[in-house]
Structure 1
Amino acid sequence: MAKNTREIEQVSYEFIPEKDRKGDPKELFFTWFAASTVSTTVVTGALTIILGLNFWWAALAIILGHFIGATFMALHSAQGPKLGLPQLIQSRAQFGYFGVIIPMVIVLTMYFGYGSMNTILVGQGIKETLGFNVNIIIVLSLIPMVILAIYGQHLIQKSMRIYTFFYVALFIVLTGLLFIYIDIDMLHEGSFHIGGFIASVSICITWQVTYNPYVSDHSRFMHPKDVKKTFFYTYLGSFLSSTWLMLLGAAIATTALNGNIMGAIKEMGMIGYVIVILLSLGVLVINSLNIYGAGIIVLSIASMFWDFKTSGRLRVIVYSVIGITLAISSTFGATNFMVYFQIYLEFVLFFIIPWSVINLVDFYLLKRNNFMSEQYLTKHSKFGKINRKGVFVYFIVIMLQIPFVNTELYQGIISLKMNGLDIAWMVGVLCAALFYIGVMWLTKRYLSYEDIKIK
């Protein structure tokens, strides 16, 4: 692995030995604080007002949603120091050596989707403020994103630290502007209704859940003795930035015309205009996380069929191809892509939530977490090529969520009878936990710690 920011990282899917884990858990605060300091977070917070809540009920929903969601995220992050492996490689314990390809492919499409969406937002934001050509900005903006992903964890974390200090100052200014431009009486407009409140809580929980598949990709560089610190700093960073920015978005939405949050910020004078530009440019650093994670999954899948070790040259090739793919999808399919991807994102959560709960239940409740690293990296391990129990529960829970969903593309029959309420994620969490524990208990085929525990 890279020892400093001038060296290209030499790992991807591989196990990080304890002697090489020299990461500081405090750096995770900056990584996950910075991860949400983008315009998308502000706009997402505005949805709570669009759903009909007043600001105060929206604020409660935002705080509650991130409080719950960040807990799941931080629990995944705490797995990294214990196992020293990327997040989805860890899931071989529940899905098997090849079975884990299922969530890997789903998450890979999420990486490419978010990567393209964020890149498009950069191009559109700069066009609206400075008038530059969208496609040129998209291509140019991908260069620093790809470079950060190639160099890896050390350079990403250093960039995130600088980024955090700068954008904290930016959002302090934006918060101050709200006291000048927001009419306090407007914060009381709207009302409480259970559907809008639950939907708002769900939005915030799912915002955090989308980080779950890759938090350990970064925390695996931490020493096992730093598990508690890893949880704390991951939780604090993600909770504070997401909650703060969504509260700002909700407040701005009380006066924004037609929900145009960025337009409302631009109306706050020259400072507001500059803030919109900086919010657009901020994605340049943040999007490197999506590209970094996509590369790990591509190389992880490849390692199942070919024997190789990650090198700097291989990282340059893989991440360059990912960058070119994002450039093509962002420039040639931007309009239709954004429409259909938003719909897809609503469904991808139904795949991520069961995976997340199965993984956490197995690790924390069933305590199947003390396996040797070699078990995760060989197809002949005791996890098996396909863990039928984990895969069975996974697909059953996905099917059980369908009647409860309410999306633009499809609304489930139970959601219709509940006046449009979408509680699919609640069903997913409850059923995944109960079914997985039940199946493991009924089969009574636990792996033997005596054979595979770490000495």
Structure 2
Amino acid sequence: MPSLHTTASEVQTKSSGLAGIETRSIDYVPENERHGRVADQGPFWFLGNFQFFTIAIGFVGPSMGLSLGYTAVAAIIGILFGTLFMAFHASQGAELGLPQMIQSRAQFGYRGVTLVLIGTLVTFIGFNVVDTVLLAAGLNGIFGWNITLITLVIAVISALFAIYGHDCLHTIFKICFYISLPLYIILTGAILTGHAGGSSPTIIGFSWVAFVGQIAASASYNITYAPYVSDYSRYLPRNTRPISIIMAVMVGASSSAIWLIILGAWLATRLGASDGLVALHAAGNAVFPGFGSVVALASVIALVATMGLNAYSCMLTILTGIDSFRPLNPTRKARILTIIGIAALWTGVSLQCPSDAIGLLFATLTVMLYLLVPWTAVNLVDYFLVRKGHYAITNLFMPGGGIYGMWQPRGLLAYAIGFLSTIPFAVLPGIYTGPIAHMLGDVDVGWLVGLVVSGGVYALLSRSLDLKAEETAITLSEADLKTMHGTAPGEATAVPAMDDVWK
């Protein structure tokens, strides 16, 4: 198992040639390499939503006739609900020291996890395509910059962030956080005091379709972070209390999203905005000349950093998929070449994608949400209710799947049933509307149905799981890790059992 046998001294030796570039990827992070603070998780995920892409989520309700007030209420409900699922995944990184998709082998099997990997892969690529098209169109509209040049520069910068990896991303996000926060505080203050322009509200209506639609858009926005949130907490010390990580991510990711979605709703209802970056520029310049350009560029940098985040986790997804069929030594070279390939792919698609194709891309991402929601339900039920954080880590890297097998029927069946249950409730505007969704007035609750059904089915199927039989494998796994890395998981520091997390 080469991905587990890389020692700390070997990591240090390999890192000396290309200082600062992360060496680890899909392999286990041992206790003696853990670093970082849980306090950094809040600002990190705050910044992840603190850019103009989030503002566009605030256009959903007003575009369907929903007033600013009702859009704000729907955004708060949706974001808090969606972030809850995202935040619970964050504790898995510190507890296990693994990327999210490697841990998912326990629920779906060594090869079975590739079913989920397809959905996450398309989501990461899709988001970066959408981000690129929006950035290029917005910067072209504001400054007249060449779209092709913008696309290429964005790809290079975000790919470099991903290549340097985990610590680099945390540093860039922290810098962007401290730059962006005061700018948005000034802009928000100007809006509240009437110094950011705007007119009387032109949209003052309410409908359940629009209200529930805004809830769904807001909830899905943060749920899509679920497949990779633990990728950025896996270097935290293992004695970090799960509740601390969960709350840090919950507060960070939800507060910025709620803030900017409401800001987007104001821009839509007061300025008639349809382009988040252009509207941000206009509102900022109304405060004082040039301020709009500063705010817009800060938002652009934050979104480019988030694209680096997507590229990094996309790399982990691809390497996990390859390793599932052909055992892989996850070297730094493999990381770099994979990220370059990913960047080339989303750049090529972006250059061929006209700005009016964004609606189709969003529809594609909605389908990916339907694919990801059953996974997050199965994963969380397994981690918190069934196995309660206890896994044989070395078995997750065994080509035969160890105690988890090549294909796990419980997880795969729950996932399939959960996904199929969404179809009658699904809504893809202009493409497909399920029969039950049509009866509900085209209100999209498919993702919520998939969440409940897949989680419930997996909980029922797992009642026959023999957890006692796994205890021996877990003990042997910890001993093996101790031999390879000097300490077994949790030996260097006291780790609270998952059963005691909430005490």
Question: For this structure pair, what is the TM-score category when the shorter chain's length is used for normalisation?
Answer: over 0.9
Q: Of residues 161, 180, 183 in structure 1, which corresponds to 2:174?
A: 161
Aligned-pair distance for 1:403?
0.6
Q: Of residues 58, 67, 75 in structure 2, which corresponds to 1:45?
A: 58
Q: Which moved more, 1:6-15 or 1:91-100?
A: 6-15
Q: Of residues 387, 391, 396 in structure 1, which corresponds to 2:412?
A: 391
1:328 to 2:343 alignment:
no
Is the partner of 2:205 in helix, strand or coil? coil
Distance 1:434 1:183, change over 3 A: same
The residue that corresponds to 2:437 in the other structure is: 415
1:436 to 2:458 alignment:
yes
Distance 1:141 1:73, change over 3 A: same
The residue that corresponds to 1:239 in the other structure is: 254
Q: Of residues 251, 265, 273 in structure 2, which corresponds to 1:250?
A: 265
1:402 to 2:423 alignment:
yes
User: Structure 1 counterpart of 2:424, which letter?
Assistant: P
Aligned-pair distance for 1:83?
1.2
The residue that corresponds to 1:282 in the other structure is: 302
Contact residue 121 and residue 280 of structure 1 kept, 8 A? no
Once the two structures are superposed, what CA deviation does each residue of 1:335-372 show, in whole Å capped at 9, x if it has no partner?
47534321111111111110000100111111353112
1:291 to 2:314 alignment:
no
Aligned-pair distance for 1:316?
2.2
Aligned-pair distance for 1:186?
2.4
Contact residue 159 and residue 339 of structure 2 kept, 8 A? yes
Listed as ranges, the matches of 1:76-95 within 5 Å are 76-95=89-108
Contact residue 315 and residue 339 of structure 2 kept, 8 A? yes
Contact residue 145 and residue 287 of structure 1 kept, 8 A? yes
Distance 1:292 1:379, change over 3 A: same
The residue that corresponds to 2:210 in the other structure is: 196
**Cα-Cα RMSD:** 2.1
Contact residue 30 and residue 157 of structure 1 kept, 8 A? no
The residue that corresponds to 2:117 in the other structure is: 104
The residue that corresponds to 2:365 in the other structure is: 345
Separation of aligned partners in 1, 2:126 and 2:347: 12
Contact residue 440 and residue 446 of structure 1 kept, 8 A? no
Q: Which moved more, 1:270-279 or 1:21-30?
A: 270-279
Task: State TM-score, norm by structure 2.
Answer: 0.85
Separation of aligned partners in 2, 1:376 and 1:53: 48
Is the partner of 1:155 in helix, strand or coil? helix
Once the two structures are superposed, what CA deviation does each residue of 1:286-322 show, in whole Å capped at 9, x if it has no partner?
2100110111111112222333432333322221222
Distance 1:154 1:370, change over 3 A: same
The percent of aligned pairs where both chains have the same amino acid is 25
The residue that corresponds to 2:226 in the other structure is: 212
The residue that corresponds to 1:224 in the other structure is: 238
Listed as ranges, the matches of 1:350-361 within 5 Å are 350-361=370-381
Separation of aligned partners in 2, 1:421 and 1:338: 21
Aligned-pair distance for 1:253?
1.3
Is the partner of 1:282 in helix, strand or coil? helix
Once the two structures are superposed, what CA deviation does each residue of 1:394-428 show, in whole Å capped at 9, x if it has no partner?
11111111111121210000011111121112211
Separation of aligned partners in 2, 1:368 and 1:96: 18
Separation of aligned partners in 2, 1:262 and 1:140: 18
Contact residue 382 and residue 447 of structure 1 kept, 8 A? no
The residue that corresponds to 1:425 in the other structure is: 447
Contact residue 125 and residue 280 of structure 1 kept, 8 A? no
Is the partner of 2:428 in helix, strand or coil? coil
Is the partner of 1:225 in helix, strand or coil? coil
User: Structure 2 counterpart of 1:329, which letter?
Assistant: V
Contact residue 94 and residue 233 of structure 2 kept, 8 A? yes
Is the partner of 2:239 in helix, strand or coil? helix
User: Structure 2 counterpart of 1:388, which letter?
Assistant: P
User: Structure 2 counterpart of 1:301, which letter?
Assistant: G
Q: Which moved more, 1:126-135 or 1:173-182?
A: 173-182
Separation of aligned partners in 2, 1:370 and 1:43: 40
Distance 1:14 1:6, change over 3 A: same
The residue that corresponds to 2:86 in the other structure is: 73
Distance 1:167 1:6, change over 3 A: farther
List runs of 5+ in structure 2 lacking aligned partners.
1-10, 479-503
Separation of aligned partners in 2, 1:251 and 1:155: 34
Distance 1:105 1:150, change over 3 A: same
User: Structure 1 counterpart of 2:416, which letter?
Assistant: F
Is the partner of 1:370 in helix, strand or coil? coil
Distance 1:43 1:316, change over 3 A: same
Contact residue 99 and residue 391 of structure 1 kept, 8 A? yes
1:305 to 2:325 alignment:
yes
Contact residue 134 and residue 355 of structure 2 kept, 8 A? no
Aligned-pair distance for 1:263?
4.0
Contact residue 96 and residue 385 of structure 1 kept, 8 A? yes
Is the partner of 1:28 in helix, strand or coil? helix
Aligned-pair distance for 1:38?
1.5
Task: State TM-score, norm by structure 1.
Answer: 0.94
Contact residue 403 and residue 413 of structure 1 kept, 8 A? yes
Separation of aligned partners in 2, 1:208 and 1:243: 11
Separation of aligned partners in 1, 2:411 and 2:390: 18
Q: Which moved more, 1:54-63 or 1:251-260?
A: 251-260
1:27 to 2:40 alignment:
yes
Separation of aligned partners in 2, 1:307 and 1:438: 33
Q: Which moved more, 1:260-269 or 1:9-18?
A: 260-269
Aligned-pair distance for 1:26?
1.8
List runs of 5+ in structure 1 lacking aligned partners.
none
Q: Of residues 167, 172, 196 in structure 2, which corresponds to 1:181?
A: 196
Separation of aligned partners in 2, 1:206 and 1:339: 16
Distance 1:48 1:402, change over 3 A: same
